[in-house]
Structure 1
Amino acid sequence: MVTSLLIGSLIIFLCVLINKFSSKVGIPTLVFFIFLGMMFGSEGIGKIYFDNYSMSENICVIALIFIMFYGGFGTNWNTAKKVVKESLHLSTLGVVGSALITGVICHFILKFSFWESLLLGSVIGSTDAASVFSILRSKKLGIKENTAPVLELESGSNDPFAYMCMIICVMILKGGVSSFEIAKTFVMQIVIGICCGLLIAKFTIEFLKRYKFDTEGFDQIFFVSVALFSYAFPTFFGGNGFLSSYFVGIILGNQKIKNKSSLIHFFDGITGLMQLIVFFLLGLLSLPSAIWSVKEEFFFVFLALTFVARPVAVFLLYSFEKVSLQKKILVSFCGLRGAASIVFAIMVLGSGLNVSFDIFHIVFGVVLLSIILQGSLIPYVTKKLNMIDENENILKTFSDYTEDIPVDYIRVKITENHPWIGKTVKDINLPPDLLIVSIQGKDGSILPKGDVVFRKDDCIALTAVRFNNNIEFDLSEMTITKESDYLGKKIQEISLEEQLIILIMRDDKPVIPKGDTIILEKDVLVLSQKK
């Protein structure tokens, strides 16, 4: 147990270092995670033998749940809704088209059986949103013609359709199922998946309106349970859990939720960890000797998918729309394969289906080439196609994006002896660049018009221009105990040399320190000092 924890913590630490390194050299981090897994594997220096595909499937499904949920949660619907039709065509017909064309090519060239070829095409039919946007975000690439939201919505929503195609191929290859059963499975996957997703999202929204989290961080735990439930509930009734997870994510991610930005960053970290686990596990499961033995197959499949199947499907879908040739080429090229393809390949093995070729290592090779070659070349291809928009911010496609407005708010409480009591707004001489924007009184919010009179217990909100220069001061805290020399003294009686008391936290309430403010036991002094 201790040894496993030691090795696990070391691996995560190495992955953190690798992430820093990869961002500098421009190679996607996931490549290094794969190689790290191979290094620790049975044919690497770690000599860890691991071939438990059943356990791997369970771990990868959990990982994909969070990846799918976050794919929706991080989507800015106001930006994405402009390209819904375009994106859904790519994520549905595009996936089916890519899988079908790839399958047909593999059937005639590699001589795989027809349905096994379609199975392979389905497994690698979806694109990976996390891979594409980690590259675009790290390079801060704004793209013309609303291409970024198209790629985001397509990549986030096409995994469930690739999953359905894979399930149908597995059912056919196992035999004993009628056309009616296949059609029934297809309809149930979509209908139950969407309906359950809508119901879970509705319930969660209503719950959040009525429930307040008393402990900080419990809202994140709650959303973890929502993500897991959004998959498990529809799957229990025969629906598509991945489709439900995505729907729940995209609905909740575009609601006004408290601490939403922290939730985004939390799931950003969770998704990163899930991808780390999946790709490390992939590397651990893989055998370099087995990869080498199918090098010709996976290289051919990669070429067929990247330069034939995906472009043909994209160009056909765009044939009736006014889209530039550059956008068609870029959308075709940005179809990176990632975690979902790995999970689906492991699911095929976990289903007990005997495939005549090594589907796991072929998918491994395709994903590896896709991440290394396509992932590294996306910025270059975007530039060469003249699709970079210097005025477009890639972060606008994410639901946690807000314009950076250089304004801060200041709160002023009108106490019993406050000098503003009885005066009107127009009578107050404020320093330049300060403005009263709201007055919260006993009767509710009041617009601060010139003749409004300040009363006791009013709470005033003022705005000021943010101080953007680097502040060369550090903040520290000091708790006043019975033994403290400052206990019972006034602020003006305390000599702190180069420190300044800027705030006092008393019974969890802030107190602005004045010269005659007396220090009490259990006060927490917030001190400012020069760095």
Structure 2
Amino acid sequence: MTALNGLFLLAGVLLFISVLASTVSARLGLPLLLLFLIVGMLAGEEGPGGVRFNDFASATLVGHLALAVILLDGGLRTRIASFRVALWPATVLASWGVIGTAGLLGVFATWLLDVDWRMGMLLAAIVGSTDAAAVFALLRNSGVRLNERVKATLEIESGANDPMAILLVTILVEMLLMPEQAGWWRFFTMLFEQLTLGALMGGIGGLILARLLIKLKLAEGLYALLIVSGGLMVFAATNLAGGSGFLAVYLAGLVVGNRRCHATEHVLRVMDGLAWLAQAGMFLVLGLLVTPSLLLDHAAEALAMAVFLMLVARPIAVVIGLWPFKYQPRELAYVSWVGLRGAVPIVLAIVPVMMGVPDSRLLFDVAFAVVLVSLLVQGATVPVAARWLKVEVPPQDEPVDRREVWVGDKAALDLLEYKVVSGSAAEGRHPDDIAAARGGLAVRCVSVVRRGKLLPLQIDTRLQEGDSVWFAAADEYAESLAHAFTANAANELSAHASFFGEFIVDPECLAGELAQAYGFVLEDHESALSLRDMMRARLGRRAVVGDRLKIGAFVLTVREMDARGVITQVGLKCPSLLP
């Protein structure tokens, strides 16, 4: 009993320290996942904690369980519209991207480490895939809003590339231990089984869980447990059937998350905490598993491999894979740079150790060091690189908070919160006047909170700086309401308006009429096209919010799109009249 309580105490202390240290991580600009790894290493046998942990089997169990929860959460938060934009590009990266990266890095590793080519290729395959835990966590907590094409490509790739990496590692281990059984025909057979069964069982499992979520009436906290337990059942059953459990659980989450109902918000709130717990637990255990002195023994080789991976292998594979899809050079550069390595390579590096591959500890230590470099260098520069390469979209003028109140199985009421700031149009006005001006009868003020207390609405109520105002309004009115609560100097545009342009243009208008009104020049055949069709023809690819066309001194920007991918608003930015 004492040993058990000691284990609980150790787990609690490590998690507690990691969470508290997250504030330091944010100030230093370091990825939180890297912090979890470091805390685990400090608690290990060569750190102040002195905990001796060398149980690779337990680490594998924790890793697979945590990855299943993380992928389930990632699927729940991925909108199906993302697949419209980036399904095929991400599929190419999840297949060719892994193979191409592993092939180039394998040749380099074989030469650098002077090992058998199969050993070099195995090491490259271990670190060849991007990591869902790292990508989901950093993209959603970095504070940047990427354009949909880039964001969707990275998220779908990281959620779908695990089967290819696992198969490459499995085949290469077999080639080292049982060369007579290994072969490319077996590789393609296993790949077909993994992808087919993973997609089939994930889709069916997701539909069943989504249906249960709608039909069952449970206590709020049980909805998330239903989805987690169901997701783990899908993950395990698919693995037992010979498919990819990682792909299946991601697709199951995708199906459930896109069939929204009264229980969806309860699930997402609980899953957020579970996903962070899974990430923290997994990286802490993997940190405990490593021996820092062994990492230093191979530091030079690991650094050389990490640099080659980040600057040569990954970029070449990305450029070749995405070139047919007409990505812009800066988008290719960013997708190449955010090829984050995390828990998946470390978990894969445990496989050769457990299978008894000679010199497998070398593989584990080098792979771990590559992950550290990736999180430290690439993970810490995610927001900086987005701004430098201009793939971010300015945040919309939007509510401080929003809630959904479900009033039926398929009907929800949106509640939007705004803060009154000094100098905004809302200051000194009655909230009902703001509602009437911004949405008429479709917008209603439901409450005002002043200094933490509910303020009764009277005829003479006037909003003051610091008030929180809640409106019942559809999402389409959110941006318009936000303008009333935004303080700007005279004639100064918000970052959002400055990026998209001073004017909003109807995409159904004739491009020729717009050109004539503003004095820019189009090709002869473009004048008779609608603005939407003209922009689509010039872009030459599926449009996303933030796509820009420069015509002379004018800039046209895709400002808004509907769920079908149709452009519904275009921003027009005129040349400055100032000298």
TM-score band (shorter)?
0.7 to 0.9
Quote the offset at 1:346 in angstroms: 1.7
Partner residue, 2:36 = 33
Matched, 1:255 2:259: yes
Partner residue, 1:329 = 333
Partner residue, 2:59 = 56
Per-residue CA deviation, residues 359-390 of structure 1 (Å, 9 max, x unaligned), is 11111101101001111122222222233321
C-alpha separation in 2, matches of 1:178 and 1:158: 22
C-alpha separation in 1, matches of 2:390 and 2:42: 39
C-alpha separation in 2, matches of 1:357 and 1:137: 34
C-alpha separation in 1, matches of 2:398 and 2:442: 32
Paired residues in the alignment total 422
Partner residue, 1:296 = 300
C-alpha separation in 2, matches of 1:107 and 1:199: 43
Quote the offset at 1:296 in angstroms: 1.5
Partner residue, 2:542 = none
Partner residue, 1:172 = 175
Per-residue CA deviation, residues 488-528 of structure 1 (Å, 9 max, x unaligned), is xxxxxxxxxxxxxxxxxxxxxxxxxxxxxxxxxxxxxxxxx
Partner of 1:320: helix, strand, or coil? helix
Structure 1 residues 2 and 467, CA gap change in structure 2 (3 angstroms): same
Partner residue, 1:203 = 208
**Please, which of 290, 307, 311 is the counterpart of residue 307 of structure 1?**
311
Amino acid in structure 1 at the alignment position of 2:170: I
Q: Indicate if the aligned counterparts of 1:73 and 1:250 stay in contact, CA closer than 8 A.
A: yes
Partner of 1:43: helix, strand, or coil? coil
Partner of 1:465: helix, strand, or coil? strand
| Residue ranges of structure 2 left out of the alignment (5+ in a row) | 405-411, 419-431, 456-579
Per-residue CA deviation, residues 181-221 of structure 1 (Å, 9 max, x unaligned), is 433322222222222212212322333344322x3311111
Amino acid in structure 2 at the alignment position of 1:253: G
Quote the offset at 1:469 in angstroms: 4.9
What TM-score results when the alignment is normalised by the length of structure 1?
A: 0.74
**Please, which of 465, 488, 493 is the counterpart of residue 445 of structure 2?**
465
Structure 1 residues 15 and 382, CA gap change in structure 2 (3 angstroms): same
Partner residue, 2:120 = 117
C-alpha separation in 2, matches of 1:394 and 1:473: 23
Partner residue, 1:82 = 85
Matched, 1:182 2:187: yes
Partner of 2:444: helix, strand, or coil? strand
Quote the offset at 1:309 in angstroms: 0.6
C-alpha separation in 1, matches of 2:182 and 2:105: 25
Quote the offset at 1:308 in angstroms: 0.7
Quote the offset at 1:79 in angstroms: 3.3
Matched, 1:226 2:206: no
C-alpha separation in 1, matches of 2:147 and 2:209: 36
Partner of 1:220: helix, strand, or coil? helix
C-alpha separation in 2, matches of 1:323 and 1:258: 38
Structure number with greater Rg is 1
Q: Indicate if the aligned counterparts of 2:214 and 2:261 stay in contact, CA closer than 8 A.
A: no
Partner residue, 1:137 = 140
Partner of 1:217: helix, strand, or coil? helix
Amino acid in structure 2 at the alignment position of 1:112: V
Per-residue CA deviation, residues 209-254 of structure 1 (Å, 9 max, x unaligned), is 44322x3311111111111111110111211111111111111111
Partner residue, 1:2 = 5
Per-residue CA deviation, residues 413-439 of structure 1 (Å, 9 max, x unaligned), is xxxxxxxxxxxxxxxxxx98999xxxx
Matched, 1:371 2:372: no
Amino acid in structure 1 at the alignment position of 2:17: L
**Please, which of 19, 23, 45 is the counterpart of residue 26 of structure 2?**
23
Quote the offset at 1:134 in angstroms: 3.2
Select between 255-264 and 270-279 the one with higher mean Cα deviation: 255-264
Q: Indicate if the aligned counterparts of 1:40 and 1:46 stay in contact, CA closer than 8 A.
A: yes
C-alpha separation in 1, matches of 2:454 and 2:25: 32
Per-residue CA deviation, residues 332-356 of structure 1 (Å, 9 max, x unaligned), is 0011101111111123322333345
Q: Indicate if the aligned counterparts of 1:19 and 1:29 stay in contact, CA closer than 8 A.
A: yes
Structure 1 residues 303 and 345, CA gap change in structure 2 (3 angstroms): same
C-alpha separation in 2, matches of 1:220 and 1:166: 34
Partner residue, 2:353 = 349
Higher relative contact order (CA 8 A, sep 6+): 1
Q: Indicate if the aligned counterparts of 2:41 and 2:47 stay in contact, CA closer than 8 A.
A: yes
Matched, 1:65 2:45: no
C-alpha separation in 2, matches of 1:300 and 1:250: 37
**Please, which of 34, 42, 45 is the counterpart of residue 42 of structure 1?**
45
Partner residue, 1:523 = none
Matched, 1:316 2:320: yes
Per-residue CA deviation, residues 109-135 of structure 1 (Å, 9 max, x unaligned), is 322222222221221122124323433
C-alpha separation in 1, matches of 2:86 and 2:248: 21
Structure 1 residues 462 and 327, CA gap change in structure 2 (3 angstroms): closer
C-alpha separation in 1, matches of 2:108 and 2:396: 39
Amino acid in structure 1 at the alignment position of 2:385: V
Amino acid in structure 2 at the alignment position of 1:320: P
C-alpha separation in 2, matches of 1:228 and 1:208: 16
Per-residue CA deviation, residues 391-414 of structure 1 (Å, 9 max, x unaligned), is 56999xxxx9x9976489xxxxxx
Partner of 2:324: helix, strand, or coil? coil
Structure 1 residues 62 and 168, CA gap change in structure 2 (3 angstroms): same
Q: Indicate if the aligned counterparts of 2:295 and 2:369 stay in contact, CA closer than 8 A.
A: yes
Q: Indicate if the aligned counterparts of 1:91 and 1:154 stay in contact, CA closer than 8 A.
A: yes
Partner of 1:146: helix, strand, or coil? helix
Partner residue, 1:438 = none
Q: Indicate if the aligned counterparts of 1:141 and 1:393 stay in contact, CA closer than 8 A.
A: no
Per-residue CA deviation, residues 470-502 of structure 1 (Å, 9 max, x unaligned), is 453279xxxxxxxxxxxxxxxxxxxxxxxxxxx
Amino acid in structure 1 at the alignment position of 2:305: V
Q: Indicate if the aligned counterparts of 1:23 and 1:138 stay in contact, CA closer than 8 A.
A: no
C-alpha separation in 2, matches of 1:43 and 1:21: 23
Partner residue, 1:440 = none
Amino acid in structure 2 at the alignment position of 1:152: E
Select between 186-195 and 27-36 the one with higher mean Cα deviation: 186-195
Amino acid in structure 1 at the alignment position of 2:192: V
Partner of 2:323: helix, strand, or coil? coil
Matched, 1:93 2:86: no
Amino acid in structure 2 at the alignment position of 1:204: L
C-alpha separation in 1, matches of 2:177 and 2:45: 32
- RMSD of the alignment, in Å? 2.9
Quote the offset at 1:462 in angstroms: 9.6
Structure 1 residues 393 and 317, CA gap change in structure 2 (3 angstroms): farther
Quote the offset at 1:298 in angstroms: 0.9
